Each structure stands twice: as structure tokens, then as C-alpha cells.
């Protein structure tokens, strides 16, 4: 196990415990000597980890310490990069640009060896069939979900019937070929699913549903589990 991976594992072990953990326990779980544990504890403390304790008593990690990206393992970096590439190629323009920014920030703080691994990964996300670019609509809906703000949409269903809805957006599902919004529809007084490509106009309302977003999301998930959907949007049903 590389030293960076061992330090990460050591932090994860300490996070699991609310009370001091002895050096012997840490050495056993990481598979190294007690002397190595003492050196690793000192190294983590020098990087800003608020680890309290001393040999013979035990160690405890105080909350608030954030791992620097350079401590990602090779597999974690591959997973992260693959996820960013998937978002970049298979979502909307807003998330695509955000994914590129995240990748740049990660590369900026990685050590040289890790940058080479990051750039030379053999994992790729292929392009997916997509609706017409609905980036502005998706961005408006994501902001509304975040701020718990109602949205007014003009929607054309599968039978080409146009209607205007006042909705409380709950979740957006990104699928190959299409994107679906799950929302509470004021007109139907129930959850409904709307294909983003069929939303011709989308604007935020002056009304909010402050404090209800989390509850609506949980109820939507319960509804999906009852139908065996496993937290993914159902087919659109206006």
C-alpha cells in the first residue's frame, strides 16, 4: 500500500471513532508497525489534521479536517475523472462547463506523478444521444431546486397538447437520449414527470416552497420505491 493511501485509510479509521483509538489498533487495521503509525500521525498533524492524543493513550480526530485532493488513490482518481467526463459529455452545457472547471482545479493541486496518471487514464465516457440542448432550462430548474422556488413551464405532451404548469421541481434525471424533470404539479396535485425537451418556456415564479424541498424529494423517492423504480424518474406523465 502506498503511503498516501495508508494516510487516507488512517484518517478514515479515526473518523469512525468518537473516542481515542490506541496505536496498536491503528497498526493492526493498517497492517504496519506501531512506529510507522506514530510517524503517520505526525505527518497528518503537519498537514493540518487536528489529531489529539499521544503514544500509550490513543488518538482521536477532531471534526473539520478536509482531505486535500492529492491524497486520492489511483482508483479514486480514475473514478473521479470518469465521472467528470461523463458529466461533461452527457449532461447540459452548464454542468459540462462546471465539470471542466472541477477537473482543472483538481489538476492544479495534484503532485506531478498524479497529474500524469490523471491525464493518461484509459477510462473514457462515450458521447450519448441527447435531446436538443436544454442547458438554459436545466440550469433554471437546478437553481430552482436549490432555492426551493416554484417554476412556471409551458409544456407540450406526447399528444402535442400545450399547457402551462406551476410546479415545485424536485429532481432531474439524466438518461441516454433524454432528460426528465420530477416535480410536484400544482395543477394535478401530485408528482409528475416532464421531458425537458418538451418544455418550450421555463421561468421562476415569485413563490417559494421554503423548507419543503427535502420532504418532497423523500416522498418522491418513497413513491418510486413502492413502484420498484429505485429512485429514478418515471416516464413522463403530464
Domain presence at residue 162: yes
Tens of pLDDT, residues 39-50: 999 999 888 888
In the block, residue with C-alpha cell 458521447: 127
Residue 27's pLDDT is 92
Domain presence at residue 233: no
Cβ atoms within 10 Å, residue 46: 8
Residue 47's pLDDT is 82
User: Do 183 and 209 fall within a single domain?
Assistant: yes
DSSP string, 169-222: EEEEEEETTEEEEEEEETTTTEEEEEEGGGEEEEEEEEEE-TT-HHHHHHHHHH
User: Do 151 and 186 fall within a single domain?
Assistant: yes
Structural domain boundaries enclosing 82: 70-119
Domain presence at residue 170: yes
Domain presence at residue 231: no
* pTM, entire model: 0.65
CATH code for the domain in which residue 57 is found = 1.10.10.10
User: Do 78 and 105 fall within a single domain?
Assistant: yes
User: Do 49 and 92 fall within a single domain?
Assistant: no
CATH code for the domain in which residue 166 is found = 2.30.30
Domain presence at residue 82: yes
Residue 233's pLDDT is 47
Domain presence at residue 105: yes
User: Do 87 and 155 fall within a single domain?
Assistant: no
Residue 93's pLDDT is 84
Would you report the helix, strand and coil content of the chain in percent, each value rounded to 5? 45, 25, 30
User: Do 89 and 45 fall within a single domain?
Assistant: no
Report the alpha-carbon distance of residue 168 to residue 186 in Å, rounded: 8
The total domain count for the chain is 3
User: Do 106 and 181 fall within a single domain?
Assistant: no
User: Do 29 and 104 fall within a single domain?
Assistant: no
Helix axes 34-46, 23-30, angle to 10 degrees: 100
User: Do 160 and 205 fall within a single domain?
Assistant: yes
User: Do 88 and 7 fall within a single domain?
Assistant: no
Domain presence at residue 127: no
User: Do 161 and 183 fall within a single domain?
Assistant: yes
- What does each of the 238 residues of the chain score in pLDDT, given as a tens digit? 778 778 888 988 888 887 899 999 999 999 999 999 999 999 998 888 889 988 888 999 887 665 555 567 788 888 999 999 999 888 888 898 899 888 887 877 777 777 787 788 888 887 765 555 566 899 999 999 999 999 999 999 999 999 999 999 999 998 888 899 999 999 999 999 999 999 999 999 999 999 999 999 999 999 988 876 554 444 455 5
Residue 8's pLDDT is 83
Domain presence at residue 124: no
User: Do 164 and 191 fall within a single domain?
Assistant: yes
Tens of pLDDT, residues 80-124: 999 999 998 888 888 988 998 888 878 777 777 777 877 888 888
Amino acid at each position: 500500500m502506498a503511503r498516501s493511501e495508508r494516510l487516507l485509510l488512517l484518517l478514515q479509521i479515526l473518523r469512525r471513532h468518537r473516542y481515542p483509538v490506541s496505536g496498536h489498533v491503528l497498526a493492526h487495521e493498517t497492517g504496519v508497525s506501531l512506529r510507522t503509525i506514530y510517524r503517520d500521525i505526525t505527518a497528518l498533524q503537519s498537514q493540518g489534521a487536528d489529531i489529539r492524543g499521544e503514544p500509550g493513550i490513543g488518538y482521536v480526530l477532531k471534526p473539520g479536517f478536509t482531505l486535500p485532493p492529492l491524497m486520492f488513490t489511483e482508483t479514486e482518481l480514475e473514478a473521479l475523472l470518469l465521472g467528470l467526463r461523463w458529466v461533461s459529455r452527457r449532461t447540459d452545457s452548464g454542468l459540462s462547463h462546471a465539470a471542466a472547471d472541477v477537473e482543472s482545479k483538481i489538476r492544479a493541486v495534484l503532485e506531478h506523478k498524479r497529474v500524469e496518471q490523471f491525464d493518461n487514464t484509459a477510462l473514457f465516457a462515450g458521447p450519448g444521444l441527447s435531446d436538443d440542448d436544454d442547458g438554459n432550462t436545466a440550469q433554471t430548474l437546478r437553481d430552482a431546486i436549490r432555492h426551493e422556488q416554484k417554476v412556471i413551464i409551458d409544456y407540450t405532451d406526447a399528444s402535442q397538447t400545450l399547457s402551462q404548469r406551476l410546479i415545485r421541481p424536485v429532481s432531474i434525471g439524466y438518461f441516454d437520449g433524454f432528460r426528465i424533470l420530477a416535480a410536484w404539479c400544482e395543477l394535478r396535485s401530485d408528482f409528475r414527470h416532464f421531458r425537458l425537451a418538451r418544455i418550450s418556456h421555463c421561468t421562476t415564479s415569485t413563490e417559494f416552497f421554503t423548507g419543503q424541498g427535502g420532504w418532497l424529494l423523500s416522498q418522491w423517492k418513497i413513491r418510486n420505491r413502492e413502484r420498484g423504480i429505485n429512485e429514478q424518474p418515471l416516464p413522463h406523465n403530464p
